[in-house]
């Protein structure tokens, strides 16, 4: 695949991963129409994606899931395990696709539908690059509820208490729970009579202490550790 020349500071570097050249071309045309975005490389399968992430060090990876040789889920898992700074956005066909769930569990920061509108794609890349979650935590929660209750998520079962939880203060534990419930910073601030700036500080500390990358991963973590369990059968 073609590797694009790296640009100077101030731009968000993107790696496109999809086995369909026309789709990659379409995404590239959209993204490179923005002054602050640049595509630094393309890959047609997961193995090539893992190699290019290490080589090009992109900020964001747009990752398809169904590809030959190595699928996007395994590639995401390897990129996450390697400790890369790149944040992965999984591209799916349906918002409650099992691949979306698997991608989040593997370490992706978000998922988008393949038919996403150009403006939404650009916004998603910018938000994820900034370290935030492009997918509302409530949507992530709905995805997890669906697959945990349906027995489609064997990797999520009640677990022993994570020792890292003991590092949290009582307030940080409350913040963790509300993030897992899908509340936004504004809603958390209203609930606890705090400023949004204070909530953001607490959220950063929770992420740091639990070694999580973003709010979406907090929701996944809460289910994986048994901190949150499906409770509403009609969810």
Residue that wins the pLDDT comparison between 231 and 61? 61
> Would you place residue 54 in the very low, low, confident or very high pLDDT band (cuts 50, 70, 90)?
very high
Q: Where are the beta strands (DSSP E) in the chain?
A: 12-17, 37-43, 60-64, 87-92, 110-113
85-95 pLDDT per residue, tens: 899 998 887 65
> Would you place residue 138 in the very low, low, confident or very high pLDDT band (cuts 50, 70, 90)?
low
CB atoms within 10 A of CB 235: 10
User: Cα–Cα distance between 116 and 31 in angstroms, integer?
Assistant: 13
User: Cα–Cα distance between 1 and 48 in angstroms, integer?
Assistant: 9
Residue that wins the pLDDT comparison between 195 and 213? 195
Q: Which of 85, 131, 81, 79 is nearest to 110 (CA)?
A: 131
Describe the strand order of the beta sheet including 60-64 as a list of residue ranges: 37-43, 12-17, 60-64, 87-92, 110-113
User: Cα–Cα distance between 210 and 215 in angstroms, integer?
Assistant: 11
Q: Which of 206, 202, 180 is nearest to 189 (CA)?
A: 202
Mean pLDDT, all residues of the chain? 81
């Amino acid at each position: 695949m073609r590797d694009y020349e790296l640009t100077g500071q101030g731009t968000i570097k993107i790696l496109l991963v999809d086995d369909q050249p026309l789709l990659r071309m379409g995404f590239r045309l959209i993204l490179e129409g923005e002054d602050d975005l640049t595509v630094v490389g393309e890959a047609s399968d997961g193995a090539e994606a893992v190699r290019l992430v290490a080589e090009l060090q992109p900020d964001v990876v747009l990752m398809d899931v169904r590809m030959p040789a190595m699928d996007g889920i395994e590639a995401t898992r390897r990129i996450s395990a390697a400790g890369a700074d790149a944040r992965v956005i999984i591209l799916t066909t349906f918002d409650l696709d099992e691949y979306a769930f698997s991608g989040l569990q593997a370490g992706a920061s978000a998922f988008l539908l393949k038919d996403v509108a150009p403006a939404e794609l650009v916004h998603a890349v910018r938000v994820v690059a900034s370290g935030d979650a492009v997918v509302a935590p409530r949507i992530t929660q709905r995805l997890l509820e669906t697959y945990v209750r349906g027995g489609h998520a064997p990797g999520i079962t009640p677990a022993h208490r994570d020792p890292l939880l003991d590092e949290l203060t009582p307030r940080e534990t409350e913040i963790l729970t509300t993030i897992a419930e899908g509340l936004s910073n504004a809603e958390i601030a209203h609930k606890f009579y705090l400023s949004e700036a204070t909530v953001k500080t607490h959220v950063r500390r929770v992420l740091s202490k639990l070694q999580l990358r973003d709010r979406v991963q907090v929701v996944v973590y809460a289910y994986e550790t048994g901190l949150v369990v499906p409770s509403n059968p009609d969810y």
